[in-house]
Structure 1
Amino acid sequence: MMKNLKYITIAVFCLSIALIPGTLSAQSIFGLNFIGEHNLGGNGRYSATGYSGIAFPDTNSALPLNPASLSDLSSVTFSIFEMFNLSRVNTKQETSDQNRFVLPFASIAVPLKDGLVLGIGYKTRFFGRGNFTSEKEVDFTPQPRELYEFNSSLYTIPFTLAWRPLDWLRLGTALQIDRGSIKDEVYIYFDDPAYNSISSVRTRGFSGISWSLSALVKLHPRVWIGASFDDKVDYSVEEVVQYSRWILNTESTYDFTLPAAWSAGMAVAVTNRWWVSSSFWTREAPEPAGFEHLEGSLSDESVISFGIERRTGSDGGKLSRMPLRFGYYENRWHLEFPAGQQVVSRFFTIGSGFGMPGGPGGIDFTIEAGKIGSVSDNGIDEKVLRLGLSLDLSEKWTRRKDDRH
């Protein structure tokens, strides 16, 4: 019966994702520029602690913020994380409400032996999606309607090997298959049949390979430090531009480099259950190859974060045993909008979780509330509420009797 509850919970989780309308998207309104909005990674636990947990040891999830932590898993583990986004976009003249979501992040980890774990997953690096319709004023012609659509998704499939050579040391390395596409579409329609509608569709396909290294060190049972290095991604880009008049169509190829990134952090236990954490992540500004209109509008990106976590306990009532998590993070984007005015995100986070009915695993939930951009600096801001839900399932692989006939 308890095992059935486990699979019922999985079905409800997957159904809740499938029922989200397909027309929604998950990025900030600023993600409609450049290659999209940066995904910070991890699962519900790491979101709730402000993405400050690069120094957290993790024995439950296949989606840790520090891949070296996979070496602590002793069972086959599957993890998935979904984030829903509600926001209000403001300019000096107008306000618009947005509802969006992002494709789930997923990973499976398989212990090869004690302290040696292989992980395979899917993670979105950058994402953006939106569409807008506007009326145009053109002299001596009927008023046309213009539709603009933007779709961006750069993702990676990491093959991670995590190793625990010593009780105080965990190491991780990953080969990352990097893929993605960016599509800009413009359609202009006339209600008057005497005028032909026109269109322009620009599609860019990205492909590359990269690698990463990570480490997690126990200086003391109550003091951990973590670090990671994500190598640059040299994308090969194939661009196709299609017009309503096919004779104008063009094809081209070029290279786009996403610079290397690194991060470091610390987690310290104040008591047996209460921990504080902090981390810093940064990446240099990329060159605007293929985005010449952003020349002079790209800068270094950084994330600074802080978190507090009360870990799961065994004493007291149900609520007192549950974990509590709080955090804050500030993300300075690559994007300057307009040139010279960097886009900045500031978020407060909170969350908790509980064990999976019927067996190993758990569900974590998180809430992020904050603001992206500034009307005074960027001409636009977005007040955002994000709701996150992650699922971790674990099961040991054992030999079973073959009952087939």
Structure 2
Amino acid sequence: MHEDKDHRRRTRYTLSETEHGQAWGVCAEVDGLFGEPQRGTYELFGWVPETEVHDWVGNRVWLVPDDDPLEPWLLQDAESLGQPLGTDSLVLTGLDDYEGPPEGHRGCFRVHDGRRWVGSCREFTRILPPEQSAPPLVLRGLAQGDQLRAALLKGTRRALDLEQAVLEIRDDQGEPLTDRLLWGRVSAWRPSSFGTDLIDLELDGQFFTPVSQYAQSIWERWLAGPPDNQGAWADLDTRRRWAWLDLVRERACRRTHRDSSPGHAYELDGQHITDEPGLYLALGEAVNGPGGYFGGCLAALDDCLGGTFGYTAPATLIWRNAATARAHLSHRLTPDGEPYDLFAEVLDVLAEGGMHVTLV
């Protein structure tokens, strides 16, 4: 058993090419997996707060323009850098993979975090950060596949451009956990101290998005294996609950699920459902046990109710301490700022999927 565990750790990371799934190599350690992703920075001029703005603003922060033709603009995992001295501005940073308002737009925006209105501004500008060289991604103790060995022996620029690749990640039990896409361009390699015929392979970090540093402790818990008990996430703040839910979802998409028989009775302990990720984490564990997944948004919940995620209709769900979720989730905002009741919508989706819910 000890040897098996050591072997699994040595093959925790697999670097593969995406076209045919052939492995470039496997290793036990990766440097550069965690760091600070490139974030967009925005200065909101004429900031008028409607509530207190904390350092972490929210997982999904929406800028809703007054101009009707424009769609709301999403800033993910948004942080506040505060108000620069002598200005009426607020500076926000976040992951902004989505296309924002047109360049040079000078209209007013109102800002909300999905729960409440945070404030408004008369216009904004994007602050371009100084150019920085991204740290490399280093695969330590890599056992090379034949294809990679040939590319390194050839050594030309074209041979060392591995193009699109995927870093597949397994936990200490050898089970698939998640993966990360990257553009694999080899910048250096050298013999490794991990053993004979192993190398430390360095990839250009300019083409890799690291996992945010705040989520590292969450990843380390999951790399050791899935939780044994329900509610291992309960003491986390909302930001880290989202990180936990991301891994729950990614792990679930790499596993096969045995659906329960019709008429199954589930029980949900809702005492820790004080935010949206807590809702889906508790639902997932009610249906699929510790670390289980059963949706991460309303659309995904609807998909799970259709089967292949541990559930077969009809079934019953006893939802204990339901008042906690009702108090925290009944007043939400759509992307464009319209109020809605998430708690009620979840009940509707469950009912439509054949889940009879009893609130206790």
- By the TM > 0.5 criterion, same fold? no
Q: TM-score, structure 1 length as denominator?
A: 0.21
**Structure number with higher helix proportion:** 2
Q: TM-score, structure 2 length as denominator?
A: 0.22
**Structure number with higher strand proportion:** 1
Pick 1 or 2: higher relative contact order, CA cutoff 8 A, min separation 6. Answer: 1
